[in-house]
Structure 1
Amino acid sequence: MLEHLNQVNDVPVLSVMDPAFAPYGRVVTGYDFSEMIRYMQDNTPIPESGNIYLPGDATMEAMPVAAQIQKVFYGDMPIQVGYCNGRNTTWNGFEYHKGSEINVAVTDFMLILGHIWQIQNNTYRFEDTKVFYVPQGTAIEMYQTTLHLSPCRVCDAGFKGIVILPKGTNTPLDSKTPNDDPESKLLLQRNKWVIAHPQREPLIKQGAHPGLLGENKELHY
């Protein structure tokens, strides 16, 4: 799959097993996500178009591995276990959180990643990104300094991914109150700072800052 993705794309596609992934995150081991993966395979849909994101799924949050992740990985801080399923192929927005995110690949997918320290004056250039392939069944941690957004599919059927975050992340804010800190203009939802491409109308309409510079590319599969 990785060889094929590199043949059909004009940007390198690396594996999360590659040392190049180290500044962005790590492969997570020591936890058994098989029950969550089976649940995702049998009970969660892939929409006909676009993506569906659910911050918290009560069934997965009640599974033993969720309690283990909360107690050990997040140091007993409250978490949410949700999912993102869809058919995305574009890299037209980036987000980051104050706290690591775990993604578990229920299907194969790709991720487009960057670093928050590459943001300059609330703008970010596409050429600073790297693309990574995440094989089915792999769990990864993305550090809080890693820019990311939705996975990208590698087949017609779309993708499915489990998303674990500090509790409350990606839920509506009570209010937005930007101040003199430039970062405050990027805050879109709770614990969710976003930079969008000006052509990404859904994010712009939500109030995302249009700070992505460069061609609005699409990944092929």
Structure 2
Amino acid sequence: MNNLLKKLQENNSNKTIHSITADKFKKYGRILTGFDWSEWNETMKQIEIPQDVNQYIASDTALEKAKLTEKIQTTLFGGMEIQVGYCNGPNSHLNGLEYHKGSEINIAVTDLILILGHTGDIHKNKYKTENLDIFYLPKGTMIEIYQTTLHFAPCKVNEEGFKCMVILPKGTNEPIDFSKSVITEEDKLLFMKNKWLLAHPDRTPLISKGAYPGIIGENFKLETI
């Protein structure tokens, strides 16, 4: 076991934290290799980690100008338009679970932790936290998470916080500018464009914005190393 992962496990003895290389991750996504994202990394080095709240930027012009953007668009997304952004911050809690229609690419610019679940475990718009799996991503790891994978903001490994690049189909997470229709139960979960969200009932900032309070269980916190 990686020494850092071992320390994380010791500090969170009531949870099981898996390596991203574990077989358990295969139902949620896959590790990506062969992509040179050094140009993106240089840009990310210039971006600070906020220490009060998470900062999510869906589309960053500097990142999208990089040569790799077109390569990712024509390979992993089959030619569909994409947006390249990031999520940085001090988060340590679950808070919510979201999914999109289309894969998401994450790059761990720093060490970080992801809390993942499967949409198949949502029943009547409720999801039990006992079904979640937790994964440690070492700095430099690039992954694809499938559209059936529930996820939310990463958690920090140390007190400096985390940096994570986020690549999605273009338009994802933009404000809804159309009248929502409720035809199926899933429609109640639509929170932003291409973003279906279950919030923990204790997460007042999300609930006050209209997020569906569908998570059953503790809004647990992960301790740092």
Instruction: Flag whether TM exceeds 0.5 (same fold).
Output: yes
What number of residue pairs does the alignment pair up? 220
User: 2:170 matched to 1:188?
Assistant: no
User: 2:208 matched to 1:205?
Assistant: yes
Structure 1 residue runs of 4+, over 3 Å off? Answer: none
Instruction: For residues 78-117 of structure 1, give each alpha carbon's deviation from its aligned partner in whole angstroms, at most 9, with x where no partner exists.
Output: 0000000000000020000000000001000000000000
User: 2:98 matched to 1:95?
Assistant: yes
Instruction: For residues 120-144 of structure 1, give each alpha carbon's deviation from its aligned partner in whole angstroms, at most 9, with x where no partner exists.
Output: 0000001100000011011000000
Aligned to 1:12: 16
Structure-to-structure mapping, 1:20-59, within 5 angstroms? 20-42=24-46, 44-59=47-62
TM-score normalised by L of structure 1: 0.98
TM-score normalised by L of structure 2: 0.96
CA distance in 2, matches of 1:217, 1:178: 33
CA gap 1:135/1:208 in 2 versus in 1, 3 angstroms? same
Structure-to-structure mapping, 1:75-94, within 5 angstroms? 75-94=78-97
CA distance in 2, matches of 1:171, 1:120: 26
CA distance in 2, matches of 1:130, 1:73: 25
Gaps spanning 5+ residues in structure 1: where?
A: none
CA distance in 1, matches of 2:128, 2:219: 11
Gaps spanning 5+ residues in structure 2: where?
A: none
Identity %, equivalent residues = 49
Note the C-alpha offset of 1:178: 3.3
CA distance in 2, matches of 1:24, 1:129: 11
Aligned to 1:73: 76
What RMSD in Å do the two structures reach over aligned CA positions? 0.8
CA distance in 2, matches of 1:178, 1:219: 37
Instruction: For residues 14-64 of structure 1, give each alpha carbon's deviation from its aligned partner in whole angstroms, at most 9, with x where no partner exists.
Output: 01111110000010112111111121012x121121200000001110100
CA distance in 1, matches of 2:95, 2:55: 17
